[in-house]
Amino acid sequence: MKKTVGILAALAAATLVVSGCAASTDVEPAEETAADTSTETTEETTTSTESVLTAVQEAGVVRCGTRDALPGFAVLQEDGTHVGFDSDFCRAIAAAVLGSADAVEMVDLETADRFTALQSGSIDVLVRNTTWTASRDGGEAATFLQTNFYDGQGMMVEASSGYSSVSDMNGAVVCVAKGTTTEGNAALESSRLGLGWEVRPFDDTDLLQEAFLAGQCDGWSSDVSQLTGFRSAYPDGADALEILPEVFSKEPLGPAVLDGDTQWAQVVNWAIFATIQAEEFGITSANVDSFLASEDVTIQRFLGVEITTDEGSAVLDPGLGLPEDFAYQVVKQVGNYGEIFERHLAPLGLERGVNALWSDGGLMYAPPYR
């Protein structure tokens, strides 16, 4: 099931645990907000011992917080479906938990609303290219899980600007999305290099792009993957823009769930791990059925195949609360990590880089399933 629900409707239906809480940044004025949030959410979460897993199984659907207009990661199409890297990880979670990649309700969220939606229970999981930081970990009641994309902040300028390096941008107006880590990172980079930037925030990327097109910004700073996506769909064409070579922050992006629910966190984590492990095994959506006959015990465990020994036969159940064939369902219906990357991010020109498997020199690594 695919359904888009606006955040206003979702929030109106929910009892907000934290009022007036905005998304954090690395330089949050929001320390007092974070403290309030942490206290109030702790009180809320201690009132219920039921895992989100149980609620999701009863509802038959995963409510996944995402977005609707970031090329490569999540785009709402005219037919009402979402397409992109993040969208596929929402589907992978649904396939793992419920056996159907279609059992997901995509909930489009503005940047400022994403943690409030998680805290209020309007969504079950947040998969919206969100950076894992200490202040969000500690102050937004969010538990960040396996990073599914290692990113970094960069700078995009007009190709005709004459800038070839960030250090050329003395006194520049740098435009960013409000309520993101990029806002604080840009200010820190300007201070570090002594460039005197005016960091100009915008409530959403549509407004930012309008300002950029109107010549109000010398630079557009965000995660390099986001800049690449926006550049691919730029009204004047991708060649009108250039992404400068410097990357001046670490931005690990991945799913997050509400604090205090270890079982649900483990379930989401292993859904992500399944995509990575499948790529390491060489198992794809096209060949996964042939691997069901594999005599490799590690693959039999992974795919939920019955293993026969002299003592009898059994299927590995590690007690995660997931169906025994969850990894098979993820790979069969959504694909392995490499397939998801190639489907959505490679067409933008993004290379695997640090997002390659550990065995290929990257950072993608799944714990052993045994």
Write out pLDDT tens, residues 101-114: 999 999 999 988 99
Given a cut of 60, whether residue 30 has pLDDT beyond it is no
DSSP per-residue codes, 191-236? HHHT---EEEEESSHHHHHHHHHTT--SEEEEEHHHHHHHHHT-TT
Cβ contacts of 343 within 8 Å, gap of 6 or more: 88, 335
Whose structure tokens read 């396996």?
146
State the amino acid at position 259 in one-letter form: D
Which pLDDT score, from 0 to 100, does residue 176 have?
96
pTM: 0.84
Given a cut of 60, whether residue 149 has pLDDT beyond it is yes
Whose structure tokens read 């219906």?
333
Mean per-residue pLDDT, 145-163: 97
Given a cut of 60, whether residue 334 has pLDDT beyond it is yes
Which pLDDT score, from 0 to 100, does residue 37 have?
40
Given a cut of 60, whether residue 39 has pLDDT beyond it is no
User: 175-192 burial, b if ≥16 CB within 10 A, otherwise e?
Assistant: bbbbbbbbbbbbbebbee
Q: Which of 340, 365, 301 is nearest to 95 (CA)?
A: 340
Q: CA-to-CA distance for 260 and 51, rounded, in angstroms?
A: 9
Given a cut of 60, whether residue 288 has pLDDT beyond it is yes
Flag the least confident range among 178-182, 323-327, 346-350, 356-360. Answer: 178-182
Mean per-residue pLDDT, 36-55: 61
Task: Report the relative pairing of strands 241-243 and 82-83 from DSSP bridges.
Answer: unpaired
Flag the least confident range among 34-43, 74-83, 150-159, 295-304. Answer: 34-43
Given a cut of 70, whether residue 8 has pLDDT beyond it is no
**Coil/strand/helix, residue 252:** strand
323 token code pair: 């169906």
Confidence class for position 167, pLDDT limits 50, 70, 90? very high
Average pLDDT, the chain: 88
Which pLDDT score, from 0 to 100, does residue 31 have?
34
Confidence class for position 32, pLDDT limits 50, 70, 90? very low
| Structural domains of the chain, ranges and CATH numbers in brackets | 52-149+254-360 (3.40.190.10), 153-249 (3.40.190.10)
Given a cut of 90, whether residue 45 has pLDDT beyond it is no
Cα angle 247, 252, 255 (rounded to 5 degrees) comes to 150
Confidence class for position 38, pLDDT limits 50, 70, 90? very low
Given a cut of 80, whether residue 160 has pLDDT beyond it is yes
Which pLDDT score, from 0 to 100, does residue 40 have?
45
User: 121-139 burial, b if ≥16 CB within 10 A, otherwise e?
Assistant: bbbbbbbbbbbbbebbebb
Flag the least confident range among 68-72, 142-146, 327-331. Answer: 68-72
The residue that leads in pLDDT, 27 or 318, is 318
Which pLDDT score, from 0 to 100, does residue 204 have?
86
Given a cut of 90, whether residue 78 has pLDDT beyond it is yes
Given a cut of 60, whether residue 352 has pLDDT beyond it is yes
Mean per-residue pLDDT, 84-92: 98
Mean per-residue pLDDT, 72-80: 96
Which pLDDT score, from 0 to 100, does residue 48 have?
60
- Residue 104 has, within 13 A of its CA and on its CB side, a CA count of 30
Q: CA-to-CA distance for 291 and 305, rounded, in angstroms?
A: 10
Mean per-residue pLDDT, 169-191: 93
Confidence class for position 322, pLDDT limits 50, 70, 90? very high
Contact 60, 92 (CB under 8 A): no
Given a cut of 70, whether residue 259 has pLDDT beyond it is yes
Which pLDDT score, from 0 to 100, does residue 28 have?
37
**Coil/strand/helix, residue 133:** coil
Given a cut of 80, whether residue 307 has pLDDT beyond it is yes
